[in-house]
Amino acid sequence: MYIEKPHVGKLARPVYFVGGGMTDFRKRHEMKAEELIMQAARMAVLENDLLVDGVLSFKKMVDFGVGGQFADHFSDQLLFIAKAHDGLGLEPVGNIEVKTGGATGGSAVMTAVMAVASGLHDVVVVVGCEMMDEVSTRQGNNYIAHASCKEFEWRHGRSYTNLYNLMAQDYIHSQKEMGVDPAVVRSALSKVAIKNHHYARSNPFAQAPAEYTEEDIVNSMAVTEPLHILDCCLMSTGAAVCIIASEEAASKLTATPILIDGVGAGSDTLRTGDRLPRTVPLLPNETEGMYKHLTNYPGFRAFYSARYAAYIAYNMAGITDPLKDFDLAETHDAFTISALQSYEDLGFRPYGLGKDFILSGDAYLGGKLPENLSGGLIGNMHAVGATGIMQIIETGWQLQGKWAKFHKNPEIWERFEKTMPEDIEDLQVPDAKRAVAVSHAGTASHVVVHTLRRPT
C-alpha cells in the first residue's frame, strides 16, 4: 500500500516507565523460562526504589500483563505468557502474548503503552524471555529464519546472515559509487563491533564482553562475506521485565518516572525482494533536496519501516533533530551493517553517510549521541523476546540516573557469578534527558521506535 505521509497519532494520556529488571544473558542457563522471568521481575519490583511495600503491595496495583517470546520452537511451549503469568502470580488479571519476530520485545512494550494510554489499564507488567539454549546454534539460526518467507527466502538461505550479507555488499557498492573506499566501510563495520563488545565489559548482564581490534573482527570466521562471526549478534537465553504505568499510578510507584512521549510502528513486506520504490519520509531536520540522488529507495540499503516508525515517534514527541535532541540511543545491531542502516533510518546521519556516525566518534560516550552503551545485540544479548524490553530498561535507567546502581554494583556482578572489572567504565550519560530505542524484526518486516524523556 502506498502512503504519502505517515499518520501521527497521539497518546490519550501520559504513559511512564517505572522500572525494570533482567537476568544476566548467557548462551545457556540452568533455569526454566518462568524462573528466569521471576528473577527479572524481583529485580524490577524490589530493586528499583519503588514506593510500595514489597511484592504483594505491588501486585495489588497490577491490572494487566503483556508477554513476548519470539519462537515457541525453542522452549516447545505454546501459550508461554500463561506460564509466565502463573509464575508471577498475576492471575486473574488479564494478559496477552505478542509476537513480531525480532521486534517482539518492543511490540510488547508498545502494547502496554497503548493499554495505559487508552485508559483501559493503569499498571502493566511487560515480560520477555527466550530459551535459545534448547537447541544448537545451527538449529537456532534455522528457527529464527522461519520468520522470513518460508516459500522463498528461507529455502534459499535458512539464515538471516545471507540476507544481511547481500545488504552489506549492496551498501559497500553504493558507497564505492560515491567515491568511498570499501576499506573505509569495512573499518566502520568493525568499529561497531569493537565498541559494543567494549561497552559490554561494563555490563554485568552482558553475554560477550571483550576487547577486539579491527584485525580481530576481519580475521574472525567468515560467515557470508563481507560479514564475519564478530559482525553478528548473539544468541542468548535470559529474561527482562519492565513496568509501564499511568501518571497517577507511576507517581505512587516511583520518585523518578520516565515519560514515554513517542511511539511509532512500521512494517514492510516479509519478502525483502518484494519491496517497491518509495519516497523518503523526511524527518523534521531534512529537506527534499538532500535525497535527489537516491534511486530505488529503500532497496537493499535502507529500511522504510524503520524510517516510517521513527517519523511517527519523532513527530509525536516533538523531536526536531535526533542527533541534538537525544542524549543516548539503543539500536538493533543484529549485524554491524544493520547498525549503519539504523544510523541513517533514525536520522543520526543522512542516507549514505551512516558510517560517519561511528567514524566521527559521535556514537561513543562523550560523543554527540552515545549508542548501545549496554553493548547492544552484539556485545550484550539477543534473547529475542526480551531484547526490546532490555532496550527500554537500559534507556530508562540512564534517564533515571541509575546506571551505576545496576551496572557498577559488585553485588549484582557476584549474583551472576562474575567479577566486576577493576577498570569498569562509568557509562552513565551526564544529565541525560531524552533517549530513543528501536526494536526491529528480521529485515525490518516490523519495527517499533520509542522515545523517552525525563519529565521537566
| Residues 307-354: tens digit of each pLDDT | 999 999 999 999 999 999 999 999 999 999 999 999 999 999 999 999
Asked if 15-131+238-253 and 137-234+264-419+445-453 have one fold, the answer is yes
Grid cell at residue 391: 532496550
Residue carrying the nine cell digits 516508525: 309
Q: Phi and psi for 242 in degrees, rounded to 5? A: -130, 160
**Per-residue pLDDT at 443 exceeds 90:** no
What is the predicted pLDDT for the residue at 367? Answer: 98
Q: Is 194 helix (H, G, I), strand (E, B) or coil?
A: helix
For residues 359-373, one letter each, b for 16 or more C-beta atoms within 10 angstroms of the residue's C-beta and e for the rest, the string is eeebbbbeeebbbbb
Q: What class, spelled out in words, does domain 15-131+238-253 have in CATH?
A: alpha beta
C-alpha cell at position 94? 488479564
Neighbours of 151 (CB within 10 A): 9
Q: Over range 203-217, report the average pLDDT.
A: 98
Closest CA to 444 of 185, 152, 148: 148
CATH of 137-234+264-419+445-453 among 3.50.50.60, 1.10.3720.10, 3.20.20.140, 3.40.47.10: 3.40.47.10
* Mean pLDDT within 45-50: 98
Q: What is the pLDDT of residues 53-106, one digit of tens each?
A: 999 999 999 999 999 988 776 777 788 888 889 999 999 999 999 999 889 999
What does pLDDT average to over the chain? 93
Q: With a cut of 80, say whether residue 230 has pLDDT above it.
A: yes
Domain residue limits, the chain = 15-131+238-253, 137-234+264-419+445-453
